[in-house]
Amino acid sequence: MAEEVKKEEKRCDIKKAFSTFLKVVLGLVFLGLGAMAILKWWKLLLMIIKGCIGLFLILAGVITLAIAKE
């Protein structure tokens, strides 16, 4: 009986292996698409980042004042 349990533990589940493989491939595809999007729209990305600097500084100031108030 103990031998049967060991054999079941060693056996690879094909569905689980395929699911893991599919997730890895899908993750790599998303990484590639994200990198291509950044390269293609680099100027627009920089514009968005520059536009958010002011809002970020305001938020940092509010958080700093909230911490200093305590």
pLDDT digits (tens, 9 = 90+) for 12-67: 688 888 999 999 999 999 999 999 999 999 999 999 999 999 999 999 999 999 99
Q: Rounded to two decimals, what is the model's pTM? A: 0.58
Q: Name the DSSP class of 19.
A: H
Q: Which residues contact 45 (CB under 8 A, 6 or more apart)?
A: 38
Q: Are 38 and 45 in contact (CB under 8 A)?
A: yes
- Tell whether the model's pLDDT for residue 8 goes beyond 60: no
- Angle (CA) 15-20-21 rounded to 5° is 95
pLDDT at residue 40 in the model: 96
- Tell whether the model's pLDDT for residue 6 goes beyond 90: no
